[in-house]
Structure formats: C-alpha cells, structure tokens
A and B are shown apart, each in its own frame.
Chain A
Amino acid sequence: MATVQLKQVRKSYDGFEVIKGVDLTIRDQELTVFVGPSGCGKSTLLRLIAGLEEITSGDLLIDHQRANDVAPAKRGLAIVFQSYALYPHMNVADNMSFSLKLAGIPKPERDKKVMEAARILNLETFLDRKPKALSGGQRQRVAIGRAIVRDPKVFLFDEPLSNLDAALRVRMRLELTKLHRQLRATMIYVTHDQVEAMTMADRIVVLQAGIIEQVGSPMDLYRYPRNIFVAGFIGSPKMNFMEASIAQVLQGGSVVVALANGATLSVPAVDGMAGAGDKVTVGIRPEHISLASSDGISAQVQTVEHLGSESYLHLNIASGELLTVRINGETTVVPDQQVQLKMEPRSLHLFNKEGSTMRSLPTSTA
C-alpha cells in the first residue's frame, strides 16, 4: 500500500515560483505519468516528492503521513535518474546493494535481494561488471535494480529512457510496464514524450508552467481534453485548431459555429455558457477528418506524407488555416488537388476565448 498526496504544494527558487500550487493524489499501485513540455516543472515536482528539494509551502503526504520534513532516504522512495547515476567504481552487485549495506543489512540477505532483482531484470551474468562495461540499456536496468532491492513504497523515474536510442526506448517502455504489473508497485514516471505517457500510464498528469492542466487516464485525456493546451499536447499528429465564432445556439445544448471561410459545423453537447457571436476555437484530430466525395469543407492539398500504414495530408482551407488529415493506409491524393473534408460532429472540440473546453466533460475524468 502506498499513496502520495500533494496539497497546495509550491516551490520557488529565489522568489521565482516554479511549482504553483499543485493538488494531486497518486493512487496505490498505479503508474502515474507526469508529462509536459521541457521546463514545466516535472522534475522539480518529482524531486519535491523524493525530498531532494525542499517544499516551499504546502503538504506532502506519503501513506497519509506528512513527509515534508522526512529525510529523502527515510521516505521509502527510490528514484531512477535520467543519467542512471550509477557508482562507477562499484560493480553491478555493489551498486544494487549499496543502500542495503548502508542500512546495515547483513551480507547474506543483501546477496539474496540482489540476486532476486538481477533475476527480474535479467542481469545475473553481469553482477561483477563495472558500469562502464555495460551498454546503455543494461545500465538502465542496473539503475532500476538499485531501486527494486530497496523494496520502495513508490518508484520515481525521471525521464529514464531519454538517453536510449529509439528502438531500445520502445522495448524498455514495454519492459517497464511489464515490471510495473509484475511488482504491483506504485510508480511515478516523468517524461516530456506524450507517446510514452499514453502508452505506459494508468493516469496522466499534464503539467504546464508549474500548474496541473489535467489529470486522467490516457483515453480520457485523448477524448476529453479540458483545454487547448492538453488537446494540442496529447495525440500525434497534433489536433487541428480553427478560429470560428458561434452562429447559433440550438435547443438541447448544440451550437452551430461558423469557420473563418464561411463553412458551418454543428457541435453537440456544449455547456450552457455559449452565446451567439462568441469567438471560439474548433479543434479536431487528424484521424477524425475524412475525405468526402462532395458537400464538405473544401481544401487544397499542400503535401502528402506516405508512411505505408497511414498517410498524412497537409491541407489549406480557404481561410488560410493549415489542417492535417490522417488517412489509413495509402492514398491516391496528390499535392495541389482540391478535396472535400468531412468532420464528425461528435469528434469536434470547442474551446472558448480562454482556451477552456466548452463541451461538457463526463464526470468520470476528475
């Protein structure tokens, strides 16, 4: 059992606020991913939880106990760093058992725990090697092993895969999710890569400039982004945005919006605050636009990207805005061709002037 709670946590460096009041509960046995652009405060938040930085104000609760003033080693957490931070003069076994040795645990027990971790991570044959004689992926596993032997309440990872090449990264991603299932451990994982977040997380915490923008399961964030930032950050290729204004508010909560090129779209299930004439932003993901034979929004193809399994069209609509459309498989469309676009009303997102969604979110996302 391990939960972590943050209550109005703030962190400033020399008066400059980096974490601006974070309220968050990390649930037991879940893999929670902190994701956001570089410099948004993900690492700082993780380091506050680990105790490597002091919390300026607010409360940190680990298993319901206030932990603000508990020393890092006493919090029962283990962290895996981006640089692995192995001890270069110790071999793999000593690296993994260092914390146990400092804790005064007898050698036989230490060896047992190291062997156990080495078995899980498939490192048995490397135990007497020094870190410099290991590949990047193996070093990564030693760093994870160092965390495992401590049997921590919570595993913390700070961009652990960023130093690996693309192929190994994909493989380690799978290994880490497998490890999470195997250990049934609570994990917090920091990354700037939304693909990692989507593929690994039980719950994603999207951060921007020291503020939590949204918390939810990967599919919740994909389907119901709370604001333009989350909508643009989650999903690849990025969601398309078009400037528009509300032409008409219908009964039953739907609205009709007019795009800059004069085309109109109807958007269902909008909250009650919409009024005719309001400036809004319409969003739609590339995979939710399809080509129609007629009667759609007309657009001109700029470039076509063929990936084999899918193709991306980059199009200009009459208002001058650029849209991306994802097509399954191959396409015969060529640049400069005129096409008609069809957008599913159910897949449209609507954001007000402040960038918040105007569609009613299902209540389950909180």
Chain B
Amino acid sequence: MIISDQELSQNVVPATATRRKSWRDSVGVLSLKTPAISALFIWSIIPLLMTIWFSFRRYNLMAPDRTGFDGLGNYRYLLTDPSLALAIWNTVLLVGSVLAITIGLGTLLAVLFDQEFFGRGIARLLVLAPFFIMPTVSALVWKNMLMNPDNGFLAFTMRSVGLKPINWFGVAPLTAVIIIVAWQWLPFAVLTLLTAVQSLDGERKEAARMDGAGPIAMFRYIIWPHLGRAIAATTMIESIFFLAIFAEIYVTTSGGPGFASTNLSFLIYRYALMEYDVGGASVAGLVAIVLANILALFLMRSFARNLDA
C-alpha cells in the first residue's frame, strides 16, 4: 500500500506565520492584560515580601518593647529547633500517605464503579458523600464517634471481637489524622479518576479485548496509561490542599502529643498564636513555601511526561 506523506505535511503550519504579529498588537494586548497581572502580582508578592521582612525582625507579641532588626536570629532559632525537622517530616508523611491512599483506592474504586452492577447509582452517591462534609465536622465525628477509645464505634467493634481498643489520638495521632483526611479526600479522587476512566474510548477497550487482554492486562496497558493525566492533576490539586491541612489537626490532636502530629502549617500556628512569635512563624512560613516548591518541582518532573501524552 503506497500512500505518500503529503497528507501528513499538510497539517504542518509554517512557524513564521505565528511570528508575524506586529509589536503594535503586543503592546495593545499587554495594556489590556496589565490590570489583571498587577492585581495578581500585588496579591501574591506583598504577603511574601512582608513574610520575608518579618522573618528578619525581632517581633514577639508578648514582648512588644523588644523590636528591631535581628539578622538571622529567627532562622538560627527555628532551624536548630528539633520540632521543625519533625514538622517537615510529618508534613511529608501526611501528604505522601494521603496521596497514596486516595489515588490508590480511588483508582480501584473508579475502575469498579465503571462496571455495571446492581445499585451502582447509590454506591456512587455514598462514596461521594464525605466530600460534602466540612473538615471540622468530619474531624469531630471521627474524634468523638468513631475513634474515641471509650465509646467510639471502632473501639466498640474491636471490643466486640475481643480486641483491646486503640487509643488513636494518643498512640498513633498522625495515622489517625491521615485516616481522617484520606476519608475526606477519597471522593475527590474517585470523582476525577472515574471521569477519566469513563472517557476511555469503548472501541479501544474492545480492540484490546480482541487482542487478548484480560482484566489485568486491560488495566495495566490500557486503563492505567490513560489515567496518567488525571492522576497527575489529582495529585497536584490534592497536594496543594494537603500541605495546608490544619482544621483536622486542630480539632483532633492539637498537634500533639508533643509535636507528634504537628505539620508545618500547624507549627506556624503554634509559633504565631501560641507563642506569639511572629518572626519565628514567618521563618516557618518561608520553610513551608520552600517545601511546597520542592514538592511542586518533584511532581512536575515526574508527571511532565504524562501531561503531554
């Protein structure tokens, strides 16, 4: 079969065509864009500059008389504080675990909910329900009704099968927070991934079936690669929220015992509003920004390939 590549070359737009825009056009467009860009710039850059400014100052609300430039004093204090390392580790653990649980379980549920089965509509509704509950409310429900070691539902179940109930917030506080956040965010992952699974072309699945793909090969070679983009997007969106988790910790463990369930955003809160150290809190805030950027870079790197697929 001989077919020339003429059909292919017809699709290629000459690169020069796009360059022919005159400078007049660019100036006109720029002047229209300026208000939006400056508003965004002010919005994001001023808080950052203020944080950097405060991080170099002696600024404790409990000692209003001791102000002034402090050089790297705040930095020295915070970076040698063992709680910072712990908070960073907790943050990474929290973000990583919840991502793994929601994406992993979310993919599984998405593939399951794509199948026809009796009561699928109701099952879908139920799996989505946790997302509509406010974080504070769900944390309270988990704390008082599910994970309470005396009269919680989990304790009751464990006792009824003869096991010793776990004091979740005392023994495994971070795990408890991870479970609560994962429960809240699983619906989001299911929703985005189910949409992606359903957007898979039916004929493509049939072609794979004709090619001899069973359920496992179908998942591995057809569904999973197709989900790459959706998983990347879900991971990024979730990471942004998980880095800033606060309410769930505040309601359940208050970061304790000790610093066992304190993440960076809770550490900032502890500095700023429990110790009234604005300078220290600013440094912690900058650390959080750096961490977020490292995470973003890492995600971009690992998903960049998928995103242009």
- Which residue of chain A has the shortest Cβ distance to B8 in the bound complex? A135
- Complex interface residues of chain B between 37 and 89 (CB less than 8 A to chain A): none
Q: How many A residues, CB 8 Å from partner?
A: 36
Which of A78, A86, A89, A122 is B1 in contact with, Cβ under 8 Å?
A: A122
Smallest CB gap from A158: residue in B = B203
A139 to B217 Cα, complex, angstroms: 23
Count: A-B pairs, CB below 8 Å: 83
A82 to B201, CA, bound (A): 12
B211 contacts A146, C-beta separation under 8 Å: yes
Contact B7 A179 (CB under 8 A): no
- Digitize A74-92: 1 where CB-to-B-CB distance is under 8 Å, 0 elsewhere: 0001110111011111100
Asked if A134 lies at the interface with its beta carbon under 8 angstroms from chain B, I say yes
Given A99-B211, A146-B211, A168-B7: A83 and B201 interface contact (C-beta under 8 Å): yes
Which residue on chain A has the smallest CB distance to residue B2?
Answer: A122
Contacting residues, chain B, for A135 (C-beta < 8 A): 5, 7-8, 11
Say yes or no for B162: interface residue by CB 8 A criterion: no
Contact A141 B210 (CB under 8 A): no
When C-beta atoms are compared, the residue in chain A nearest to B228 turns out to be A89
Report how far A32 CA is from B1 CA in the complex, Å: 21
Q: Which of B5, B206, B211, B228 has the most CB of A within 10 A?
A: B211
| Residue in B203, B213, B226, B309 with the greatest tally of chain A CB atoms within 10 Å | B203
Among B159-194, those with CB < 8 Å from A are none
Q: Does A366 contact B (CB under 8 A)?
A: no
Q: How far is the CA of A98 from the CA of B218 in the complex (A)?
A: 11
Contact of B244 with A by CB under 8 A: no
Cα distance A72–B210 in the bound complex, in angstroms: 6
Contacts of B8 in A (CB 8 A): 134-135, 138
Extra A-B contacts (20), CB below 8 Å, given A99-B211, A146-B211, A179-B1: A52-B210, A73-B209, A73-B211, A73-B212, A73-B213, A81-B207, A83-B203, A87-B207, A90-B221, A98-B213, A98-B221, A99-B210, A121-B1, A134-B8, A135-B11, A141-B1, A150-B211, A168-B3, A168-B7, A171-B3
Q: Which 7 A-B pairs have the closest CB atoms?
A: A99-B211, A73-B212, A85-B203, A85-B207, A135-B7, A89-B225, A175-B1
Question: Residues of A with Cβ closer than 8 Å to B?
Answer: 50, 52, 72-73, 77-79, 81-83, 85-90, 98-99, 102-103, 120-122, 134-138, 141, 146, 150, 168, 171, 175, 178-179
